[in-house]
Chain A
Amino acid sequence: MSTFVALLVYGLADGAILAVAALGFVLIYKATRVINFAQGEFLLVGAYTFYTAFVLLRLPLVLAAVVGVLFATVLGVLVERFVLRPLIGESAISVIMVTIGLSTVLRAAVQLFFGTAVREQPDILPTGSIELGGVTVPLNRLLVVLIAGAVLAGFALFYSRSRHGVAMRAVADDQQAALTMGISVARVFALAWVLAAVSALVAGVLLADLAAVEQNIAAFGLIVFPVVILGGLDSIPGTVAGGLTIGLLKQFVSGYADPGLAEVVPYLVLVGILMVRPYGLFGETRIERV
């Protein structure tokens, strides 16, 4: 029982971070139809900017977070303007490859400035554990779930209620109709990349707090694919469902069966979903016509 609850909490925490990381991915895909292979590297860059501000520059926590958000915003705008915008209308392979190239550059930049050694960062979240129904569970994992939940709720609210969110949805729905309504598609594209970079920052910092500030954070970006395919590439509720499913699945397989198997299980799910329901659990089914 206690193993089960522990795995449940660990899985939920992993899943919540995955959902936040996948959220940025889905926002980009919905608005711009770009598959961002550099999402993991956005996490990495986010974690390292926060580390620089918080540990190296000794800024207070809130200020460090602000610096992180500012940097993520600038990065998002620059990437959209100078890397992705020239490729609008190009084939899928070009767009995929440019984000792969981007991911290599970002990882190399982090390697250039910080090296490959694991960096120590003081814990931000309390590390104690609490008693929950007779089982002790780590406090920081629970807090991660709460923070991620709050961030996701905030994004969802922004997306459904705010003016910019509505503009984003309009562009996702029909670009030309949005243009005729006076929505700046270019600005929405930039906004999507900024939101993705900021959500990646949140995910990266949370992940770094649970584990460590290191290059491996980028590897998290690949597990985003099973998550978004499971949930549906263009569905925001789908990212939450997909993130939690994959996070829990990984932890349970790793806890009850084999940690090595847990690495590959998300991909098996991915192939299964693609075979049976390519548009995911919550995705919009598109019919292709000549």
Chain B
Amino acid sequence: MATSTGIYHRNYAAELRLRHTKAEKARLALMAVLLLSLPYILNVYWLGIVNTILIAVVGAVGLNILVGYTGQISLGQGGFLAVGAYTSGILATRSGLPVPLAILAAVLVTAGVGAFFGLPALRLKGLYLAIATLASQEIILFVVRRWTWLTEGKGYVEVHRLELFGWRVDRTMFEVQWYWILLVVAALAVYAARNLFRTSLGRSFMAVRDQDIAAEAIGVNLTRAKVTAFAVSSGFVGLAGALLAHYTETVTWERFTLDVSVLYLAMIIVGGLGRVAGSVYGAAFMMLLPAVLTEVAQRLSTVAPFLVEQLPAVKNATFGLAIIAFLLIEPRGLDRIWTRIKDYVRCWPFRY
């Protein structure tokens, strides 16, 4: 029930809905149409980028649960992705476990590892926690790099082409088929995260973020909330890692360095801390940025040839500048910008 003065609910069921107004439903429908038609519009190259975005969405949602909603800074994202990727890749390929089971195992294992590395969070806050998770990132990566059993001495894990219940991803239709799989998984992850923060567990996470001592005073079990937040968040990240393993079909440690942790943090900052939708916007923005820059540089290659030559440096500089610019100009990210646009349109021609 949207009126000019607000939203009124006449029964509990209406209040519990995720979307209340007609405009929200219309936007959702529009979004659904767009997502369903994407594989028919885009060529294979851009569809591949969309696929990496969808994987990043799962990971970014996971990180946002921890950083944005619970307020626990983590620089260990890359390490947790690695745990998910290696677990699922090895279980599916070497133990012959069905892929869904391997992915499930990866989620559980990563959640466990995340909870373990979250233990310092019980004593540490803010800056110290950031440094502790930096250490966990380096330690996990070291283990992955040096434990020869993982890769059987090859330095990488080869993962079989994805096979679900006897159905195999086709080589010619690779990106399209993966798009449907990843779309479903990413949508489920977003939906799950959105609902998580309507439960008492999710609310306790937010209470810990806003004021941990006050949260404890009103009966939130701090220890449990923090460790669970690390576990839940790492579960999502493990899922993203497992998807990455099966999608790219090779797992190497270079994909999980500290730069990846920073990339994911950048996603949720640019998108909006503590907003599920923000993780989606941020993931799309950060994954599209290099692709768009490449495109622009090639278009401008006749006017400004140095752009193509210096592309890696330009990409890095833009990446850093984007982080700084968002933090200085709009710390609440793309999600907040989108809200402001909606408000502007809704109230037009008035200012508010």
Tell me the count of chain A residues lying within 8 A, CB to CB, of chain B: 40
Q: Are A35 and B127 in contact (CB under 8 A)?
A: yes
CB distance from A23 to the nearest CB of B (A): 17
Q: Are B73 and A101 in contact (CB under 8 A)?
A: no
* Residue in chain B with minimal CB distance to A41: B320
Q: Are A290 and B213 in contact (CB under 8 A)?
A: yes
Residue interface bits B309-330, CB-to-A below 8 A is 1, else 0: 0101111110111111001100
Tell me the count of chain B residues lying within 8 A, CB to CB, of chain A: 44
- Docked complex Cα distance between A270 and B131 (Å): 9
A172 at the interface (CB under 8 A from B): no
Given contacts A97-B323, A100-B265, A225-B134, contact A271 B317 (CB under 8 A): no
* Residue in chain A with minimal CB distance to B323: A101
A174 at the interface (CB under 8 A from B): no
A179 at the interface (CB under 8 A from B): no
A118 at the interface (CB under 8 A from B): no
CB distance from A282 to the nearest CB of B (A): 16
Q: Which parts of A8-34 form the interface with B (CB within 8 Å)?
A: none
Within 8 Å CB of B314, what residues of A?
A: 108, 112
Q: Are A278 and B324 in contact (CB under 8 A)?
A: no
- Docked complex Cα distance between A260 and B138 (Å): 12
Task: State the majority secondary structure of interface residues on B.
Answer: helix
Give the A-B contact count at a CB cut-off of 8 A. 128
Q: Are B138 and A267 in contact (CB under 8 A)?
A: yes
* Residue in chain B with minimal CB distance to A111: B313
- Docked complex Cα distance between A215 and B213 (Å): 44
Given contacts A225-B131, A278-B128, contact A87 B328 (CB under 8 A): yes
**11 A-B residue pairings within 8 Å (CB atoms):** A86-B328, A92-B73, A96-B73, A97-B265, A97-B323, A107-B316, A111-B313, A264-B138, A267-B138, A271-B135, A278-B124
Binding site for A on B (CB under 8 A): 67, 71, 73, 120, 123-124, 126-128, 130-132, 134-136, 138-139, 142, 145-146, 213-214, 258, 262, 265-266, 269, 273, 310, 312-317, 319-324, 327-328, 331
Binding site for B on A (CB under 8 A): 35, 83, 86-87, 90-94, 96-98, 100-109, 111-112, 222, 225-226, 229, 233, 260, 263-264, 267-268, 270-271, 274-275, 278, 290
